[in-house]
Structure formats: C-alpha cells, structure tokens
C-alpha cells in the first residue's frame, strides 16, 4: 500500500558539468539497493530484458536508472505498481514543471519529458480540456478508410522494391508508411511532414541539442496549423482547430505535436518489431503466412515484450511516497517501464516446456498506458500496425532475414525499443505472383 511520508528520508545528489552538465540538483529514491542502470547505453538498447532481469534481483517493483548522463529517475518494473501509479493522480502528477525547474535547458531528455501544454503533461482542468479536443478530433477518423489508406500506401512501397528481392523494412517500408499514413490522417503535405519526422527522430534518441529539436518542430507545426486555418480539410488537424475552445495557438500546436509523436515513431517501430519477431522466431514465420498463428498473436507479443515505447508514462510524486520500504522523492521522475511491467513474472502466464510464454488473448499490457492518461488512439494505432503487417506478408510471404539476428543494431535511447534497420530478402517472382 502506498502512503505519503515526510520529506527527510530521501537522498539529495548534486551533479556538476563533469556528470553531463544537465542537472543542478536531484533527489534519488531511498530503500533501493543495487546499481544505477544506464538506459541510454547501447548495451541496454541491445538487450533490455537482460537488464530488467538484473533489476529484479534487487527489487521486484523499482530500479534506479539514468536517462542521460547525470539525469536520474526511478523505473517501475512491477506490473501491479505500474497500474497503481498510473491510476493514482492524487499522489502522482503528470506535470513535470517542478522537476524541470531543476534541470539545465540543454538536458537531452527534455524534448521527451519536458513541460508541454498537452494532455500527456497536464493534470486537472487543463488535462480535461486538452483531452476533450483530442478525443473529438480522433473520433471522426474513419477506420474503414484508414484500412484502405494503409493498404494502398503499403502496396505502393512494396511495388517499389519488389523487383529487387531485398529491402530494409525500416527505411523502405515501415518508416515511409508511418510517415504517409499520419500525414494523411493529419492533413499534412509531405514537405512539412518530412520536417516533423526529422524532429521526432531526434527527440526519441534524446540527441544533445533539445533547442534545435524544438525549433524544427515548432516551425513545422506552425506551418501546418496556418495551412489548415487557410484551407480546412476533412482531417484531424482541422477538427482539432474546430474543437479547440479556449485553447491558445501554442496549445493547439502542442496537441498536434502529441499526435504526431504518437503516430510516427511508435507506429513505425511497432510494425518493424513485429516483422522482426516473425522473421527471427521459428514459432511465427511459416505459421503467420499459413494462418495458423495470426498477425494479432505476433503483435500482442511485441506489445508485451518489445513495445516501441518501452519506458515512458512519466509521473512525479506530489510528496515523498512510500512503497514497502522504498521512498520515491517528491517531484522526481518515475517512469513506467511498460516492457518490464508487461513481463513481470508475477503476472505473466508460466512458460511451457520450451520456455515460451503465451501472450495471446491477453490485453493487460501497459503499452498504451492506463488511467486518465491512456492512449486515446489505441484502436487506430493497433489497426494501422495490423494492416501494415498483413499487407507485408500477404505480398511477400517468403520474407526472411538478410543477416544473422545478432548483427541487427538496436537504436540507443532510454525510451524506445527500435531497430536501426531490418534487412530482409524475398523471391521477386513470389512477390509478383502475390500482386496479381
């Protein structure tokens, strides 16, 4: 049970420029043993599940982590605690402004975690009005038309490489497919969308130039909103402007930014991670193509084990909060480790004789968050990813990995689970026959 406790028991840490120059002063949780795990390291990117297992050796629910050099946080690795915190807005706020006041403006994780006038980073009345406008804008998305959009863009991208017999699923398929799909949903022309895609890629990797990231995104978002005011369309950006109520221009911009942030990188890497599972795990490959094991099975397993947003849903204790001997300090970031929580051995099904855990018909994962700040586009995101994978394996049923699995490179970064590339090969004749 969580209780609020007096301030003194936490430890205060001062970090200077030698520790990265991004932090003035931080509190760290007390009552946790073990090392500080660097989520920004390439080693974590390569094998996060090894690190989650190591974290559980010291505590079943929490771990001390570093998001960038010198930037400390607590990672929630227990499913029950994750659900509890996500539903406990009385003790945990989403607004990061008090924490941000202790950070250097150059801190590389600020574009992902910093104070923004959007539904993800607000509480109370502000959260309700942002969420109301967002829900109204998304509600009118036609899922049948969206299915056709994904299929058309997917087939066009496959046609472009079908004669080659090889492709990179990140650069040649999932990346441009996510880009084209979200641009169509938002009513965004390709030139503005390209600027947004570049800015979001920098944001998710926590590059050491947050001011540049913000400048790129602000300019592109401003151009899109100006365009939609001048030429309204049947798109989410136009509907968001129409339902803005008393929102300022900056607040409208922030809601559009949030939708793009959720629509490009996570969609792209959900598709790629699912394809990676299918082409590297013998349980899936042939069975997906034959229909024995559905795309939904593969998608669900990825959402449990390798969610594209593996660590986020940041909360900040309003006061020091005590959980069974661990004291989470006030106003310091608590990240929900979605992948770690989803694979908490206390709540997952026991493995079978081969070590396989069946995640099918299980929707308890936290990959779309939970509570008041859960993802309002959950159904849209799931359908888009499923349609993209269906299109891929319908037209390229013999798709296989073009390198050894251990040669694949995972992008470093504390927040995502994302491959730099996923090279695959296939028979061009098979691709042509499938298109007839």
Tell me the pLDDT tens digit for each residue of 137-149. 999 899 999 999 9
What is the dihedral sign for C-alpha 425, 429, 432, 436? negative
CA distances from 12 to 89, 277, 348 (A): 25, 42, 36
As beta bridge partners, residue 93 has: 316
Compute the mean pLDDT over every residue in the chain, rounded to the nearest whole number.
89
What are the pLDDT digits (tens) for 47-81? 999 999 999 999 999 999 999 999 999 999 999 99
Q: Which pLDDT belongs to residue 388?
A: 97
What are the pLDDT digits (tens) for 323-358? 989 999 999 999 999 999 999 999 888 877 777 777
Q: Where are the beta strands (DSSP E) in 29-69?
A: 37-38, 62-68
Dist. CA 388–CA 137, nearest whole Å: 23
Under the banding of pLDDT at 50, 70 and 90, the label for residue 196 is confident
Q: Which of 230-234, 317-321, 353-357, 397-401 has the lowest mean pLDDT?
A: 353-357
Strand 11-13 to 2-4 pairing: unpaired
Are the CB atoms for 334 and 72 separated by under 8 Å? no
What CATH number has the domain bearing residue 209? 1.10.630.10
**For residue 97, what are the domain limits?**
2-435
* Domains identified in the chain, total number: 1
What are the pLDDT digits (tens) for 282-308? 888 665 655 656 888 899 999 999 999
Per DSSP, the three-state class of 126 is helix
Dist. CA 207–CA 412, nearest whole Å: 10
DSSP letter (8 states) at residue 415:
S
């Amino acid at each position: 049970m969580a209780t609020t406790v007096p301030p003194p028991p936490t430890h205060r840490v001062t970090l200077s420029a030698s520790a990265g120059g991004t932090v003035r002063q931080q509190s760290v949780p007390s009552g946790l043993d073990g090392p500080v795990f660097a989520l920004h390291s390439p080693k974590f990117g390569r094998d996060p599940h090894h690190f989650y297992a190591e974290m559980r050796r010291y505590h079943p629910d929490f771990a001390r982590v570093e998001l960038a050099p010198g930037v400390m946080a607590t990672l929630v690795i227990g499913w029950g605690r994750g659900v509890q915190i996500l539903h406990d807005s009385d003790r945990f706020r989403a607004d990061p402004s008090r924490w941000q006041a202790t950070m250097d403006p150059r801190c590389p994780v600020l574009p992902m975690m910093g104070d923004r006038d959007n539904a993800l980073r607000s509480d109370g009345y502000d959260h309700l009005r942002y969420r109301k406008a967002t829900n109204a804008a998304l509600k009118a998305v036609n899922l049948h038309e969206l299915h056709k959009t994904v299929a058309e863009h997917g087939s066009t991208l496959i046609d472009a490489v079908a004669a080659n017999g090889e492709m990179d699923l990140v650069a040649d398929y999932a990346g441009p497919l996510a880009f084209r799909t979200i641009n169509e949903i938002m009513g965004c022309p390709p030139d503005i969308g390209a600027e947004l895609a570049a800015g979001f890629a920098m944001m998710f990797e926590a590059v050491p130039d947050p001011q540049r990231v913000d400048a790129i995104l602000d300019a592109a978002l401003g151009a899109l909103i100006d365009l939609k005011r001048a030429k309204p369309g049947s798109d989410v950006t136009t509907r968001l402007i129409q339902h803005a109520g008393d929102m300022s221009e900056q607040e409208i911009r922030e809601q559009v930014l949030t939708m793009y942030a959720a629509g490009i990188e996570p969609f792209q890497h959900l598709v790629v991670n699912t394809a990676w599972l299918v082409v590297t795990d013998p349980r899936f490959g042939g069975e997906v193509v034959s229909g024995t094991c559905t795309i939904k099975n593969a998608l669900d397993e990825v959402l449990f084990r390798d969610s594209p947003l593996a660590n986020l849903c940041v909360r900040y204790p309003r006061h020091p909060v005590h959980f069974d001997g661990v004291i989470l300090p006030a106003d310091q970031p608590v990240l929900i480790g979605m992948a770690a929580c989803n694979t908490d051995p206390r709540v997952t099904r026991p493995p079978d004789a081969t070590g396989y855990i069946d995640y099918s018909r299980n929707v308890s994962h936290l990959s779309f968050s939970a509570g008041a700040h859960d993802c309002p586009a959950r159904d849209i995101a799931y359908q888009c990813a499923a349609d993209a994978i269906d299109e891929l394996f319908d037209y390229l049923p013999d798709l296989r990995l073009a390198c050894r699995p251990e040669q694949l490179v995972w992008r470093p970064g504390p927040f995502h689970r994302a491959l730099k590339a996923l090279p695959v090969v296939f028979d061009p004749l098979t691709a042509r026959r499938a298109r007839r």
